[in-house]
Amino acid sequence: MSEPSPTPVRRRRGRLLRFAGALVVLLAVAGYLGVQYLTGGVGAPRCKVVSANGDGASYEFTPEQAVNAATISAVGTSRGMPERAVAIALATALQESGLRNIQHGDRDSLGLFQQRPSQGWGTEKQIMDPTYAAGVFYEHLAKVPGYSRLPLTVAAQRVQHSGFPQAYAKHEPDATLLAAALTGRAAATLTCQGRPAATPPGGPAPVRAALARDFGRDVLQEAGATVDAAGSSAAPAPRASEASVAPASPASSAAPAATEAERTVTVPVRDEGAATGAGTSTLRRGWELAHWAVANSSALHIDRVSYAGREWTAGTAAGSWRTADDKSGPEAGKAASEVRIVTAQ
């Protein structure tokens, strides 16, 4: 005897269950992609640094890593530390945290360098501040006699006291490329795609605050920017892990879009070694600031960076530097004496 045919109610219930299952899968995939975008995984904008020597060496990394690497470099150069010190710090952070400001680790280890409050590195709050963490790392490194002449693994180990000191060695090539770009020695070698244009604008205030955070208030005084009594602009400077990717709200008809001049931060570049015969050249300082801006482009919603006749624009597939409009006479000198950072609409 044959089984009775399914009733219409049972068929509808089956279709609803299949539809619900498919919806759950789609939501899970969307959530996964959203998390990956925020944390620098699949589908996220990418950054890349290439060798200036023409040997084809390169290193790809995420916007979150780019912001942290730029902070580590800026804190080092602002303290007068050489490029080698920056490379040691970057290699250490690559090994300890993957250049991510993580809130966990072995025992009470925290942050970019996995520093331990119980070992005198600072409070948990301090260690989770990348600017502080980088600064205290350099303080310890500066006390290592002849650190710049030591093998990187030895110098890093004398600061970190790691159980796996040789692990730092594998990060030396990437750290060396990053240090060359972020200290400005290798011009136009660091690029990022930047956030899509649909992301909410940041404006000049967070850019100025972030410059003061990483380089110190002097960089803003050079730029003629106004800084409040607390030492920062009105808006906080977000890091890549804090950047929102929510769709932009429709513009209000009562609030016209800011002009490019209103969205631009101009940072004059001076020869840091002119007075003392030491330090960095004007061009190197300029490229340090320009690469810093590109590294922070996703977190701070930076649309364009211009320096020394070259221009980087967000949203392009490669995010590469191109030759800007030809300039001659006074304009040519001006292009090398200031970095222009234009934020998104």
Give residue 217's pLDDT: 86
pLDDT at residue 229, rounded to an integer = 34
The pLDDT value recorded for residue 237 is 56
Q: How confident is the model at residue 22, as a pLDDT? A: 58
Q: Rounded to 5 degrees, what are φ and ψ at 342?
A: -110, 125
Instruction: Tell me which residue has tokens 């956030």.
Output: 195
Q: Are 308 and 286 in contact (CB under 8 A)?
A: yes
Predicted local confidence at residue 240, as pLDDT? 52
Give backbone dihedrals phi and psi of 337, rounded to 5 degrees, phi first.
-105, 0
Q: What is the Cα 64 distance to its own chain's centre?
A: 6
Give 110's strand partners: 115
Contact 47/68 with Cβ under 8 angstroms? Answer: no
**Sequential pLDDT tens for the chain (345 residues):** 444 455 555 556 656 666 666 565 455 444 444 444 444 444 556 999 999 998 999 999 999 999 999 999 999 999 999 999 999 999 999 999 999 999 876 788 899 999 999 998 999 999 999 999 999 999 999 999 999 999 999 999 999 998 888 999 999 999 999 999 999 999 999 999 887 545 566 789 999 999 999 999 888 664 444 443 333 433 445 565 544 333 344 444 445 677 888 899 999 897 655 443 444 588 999 999 999 999 999 999 999 999 999 999 998 655 689 997 655 444 455 677 899 999 986
Residue with tokens 């001076």: 270
Find out whether 197 and 315 touch, Cβ atoms under 8 Å: yes
Question: DSSP assignment, residue 336?
Answer: T
So what's the pLDDT on residue 258?
79
pTM (predicted TM-score): 0.77
User: Beta partners for 313?
Assistant: 304
Q: What is the pLDDT of residue 299?
A: 93
Q: Is 339 helix (H, G, I), strand (E, B) or coil?
A: strand
Residue 250 has a pLDDT of 43
Total length of the chain: 345
Q: How far apart are CA 9 and CA 261, in angstroms?
A: 65
Q: Smallest Cα–Cα separation from 77: which of 1, 224, 180, 149?
A: 180
- DSSP assignment of 276-324 equals TS-S--HHHHHHHHHHHHHHTHHHHTEEEEEETTEEEETTSSS--EEE-
Integer Cα distance of 265 and 339 in angstroms: 8
Q: What's the pLDDT score for residue 329?
A: 45
- Per the structure block, which two tokens stand in for 237? 């400077």
Look-up of token digits 């002119």? 274
* H helices present in the chain, as ranges: 8-39, 63-78, 83-97, 124-127, 130-142, 152-160, 172-182, 204-215, 218-223, 282-295, 297-300, 330-335
Tokens of 68: 């942290």
